[in-house]
Amino acid sequence: MGAVSARLPVFPWDKLEPYKATASAHPDGIVDLSVGTPVDPVPALIQKALIEAADSPGYPTVWGTTELRDALTGWVGRRLGAVGVGHRNVLPVVGSKELVAWLPTQLGLGAGDKVAYPRLAYPTYEVGARLCGATPVVYDTETFAGDPAGADLDPAGLKLLWLNSPSNPTGRVLAKDELVRIVAWAREHGVLVFSDECYLELGWEAEPVSVLHPDVCGGTYEGIVAVHSLSKRSNLAGYRAAFLAGDEAVLGELLQIRKHGGMMTAAPVQAATVAALGDDVHVQEQRARYAARRAALRDALVKHGFRIEHSEASLYLWATRDEGCWETVEHLAGLGILVAPGDFYGEAGERFVRVAFTATDERVEAAVKRLG
């Protein structure tokens, strides 16, 4: 265990426990806005598909059923504007966090290789690099997106570049011209790009664009892969339903490795994914719920003295009172509200907190009253 602890950063959420206890002591109970986990029901048509596929005694395949691959390619074309996407361009995975954590290992990276990710980012990008012995390096999104060639990111030894748009935690969206510059730079230097787009259908003040859009990739998926999840858009975090789309050579290698590892999406979940990707109505209904919660919390936070930066997409508000993030966490815990400190996502977040708007309408209303 000591060797594992030496390789990995401290699991950050344990540090929140004392503040969770404080917030839980509020007479009206805790309002937990720290984790972006869905709380609304799984849409009925998805539950129905899962139940109808419940009698699945045999092993599923890693690549998924033909129906699943049809659903993946159809959605990628319809929703992302990607062209010419075939079955070899898609691959289901067992939730996107598993993929992020184990991708560098599955790509065969190790000592001497570098994995780059935004300096404000989901912690699992770093974990994935450390698990395989590669070197994690960070880049400043603003600088890099503006001029990759002039940014402080040395391509020597860089094998994997993570993009995250819309961003967790900041909600920043990479514009189309920024994506074009980054993809061109990566291809010039032979760097593989994985674009984490799990919040793409949750744009509020910007319209997120996929790295697979022809205006970005030039109609070829060489060296680029997009990561998508159904956890947020369809309330399926408990189903572990996600997939990759892009470079068929990269996905073909991953398919073989994942076959050896038995990394199979459960057959009922495959059927549920087909139903979920074939229906846009439930996505719009969920967006409307989140939009209302977002508006209420944003207004209340601003009136309470917060400044909101970025947050043009995703399920979070990136908020600051221009003080240390743990001071803010303590202040809000005293009101019975739990949020995530910004330094969980990198040192650059030390004066921010991440406020999720995934709580129920009743809990969001309680938070708004307490902030008022």
Q: Within this chain, do residues 81 and 117 fall inside the same structural domain, yes or no?
A: yes
Exposure of 160 by Cβ count < 10 A (0-12 exposed, 13-18 middle, 19+ buried)?
buried
Residue 151's pLDDT band (cuts 50, 70, 90) = confident
Q: Within this chain, do residues 243 and 307 fall inside the same structural domain, yes or no?
A: no
Q: What is the pLDDT of residues 299-309, one digit of tens each?
A: 999 999 999 99
- Is the pLDDT at 68 greater than 90? The verdict is yes
The reported pLDDT for the residue numbered 250 is 98
Q: What is the pLDDT of residues 277-325, one digit of tens each?
A: 999 999 999 999 999 999 999 999 999 999 999 999 999 999 999 999 9
The reported pLDDT for the residue numbered 13 is 77
One-letter amino acid for residue 147 of the chain: D
- Grouping H, G, I as helix, E, B as strand and the rest as coil, residue 335 is coil
Q: Within this chain, do residues 106 and 19 fall inside the same structural domain, yes or no?
A: no
Mean pLDDT of 77-93: 97
158-164 and 114-118: which strand pairing? parallel
CA–CA separation, 199 and 294 (whole Å): 15
* The domain boundary residue, chosen from 233, 257, 277: 277
Domain extent at residue 333: 2-41+282-371
| pTM (two decimals) | 0.95
Q: Within this chain, do residues 291 and 272 fall inside the same structural domain, yes or no?
A: no
- Is the pLDDT at 177 greater than 90? The verdict is yes
For the domain that residue 64 is a member of, what is the CATH number?
3.40.640.10
* The domain boundary residue, chosen from 277, 306, 328: 277
- Grouping H, G, I as helix, E, B as strand and the rest as coil, residue 338 is strand
Q: Within this chain, do residues 200 and 234 fall inside the same structural domain, yes or no?
A: yes
The reported pLDDT for the residue numbered 150 is 87
The reported pLDDT for the residue numbered 1 is 44
CA–CA separation, 236 and 93 (whole Å): 14
What percentage of the chain carries pLDDT values higher than 90?
Answer: 95
- HSE-CB at 19 with a 13 A cutoff on CA atoms is 23
Q: What is the pLDDT of residues 130-150, one digit of tens each?
A: 999 999 999 999 999 999 998
Element (H, E) at 184: helix 176-188
Q: Within this chain, do residues 201 and 307 fall inside the same structural domain, yes or no?
A: no
Number of H helices, E strands in the chain: 14, 13
Q: What is the pLDDT of residues 15-62, one digit of tens each?
A: 999 999 999 999 999 999 999 999 999 999 999 999 999 999 999 999
- Is the pLDDT at 5 greater than 70? The verdict is no
Q: What is the pLDDT of residues 21-30, one digit of tens each?
A: 999 999 999 9
How many domains are contained in the chain? 2
> What separation, in Å, do the N-terminal and C-terminal C-alpha atoms of the chain show?
47
Q: Within this chain, do residues 176 and 155 fall inside the same structural domain, yes or no?
A: yes
| Cβ contact 50:268 at 8 Å | yes
Sheet holding 307-309, edge to edge: 307-309, 316-320, 353-356, 340-341
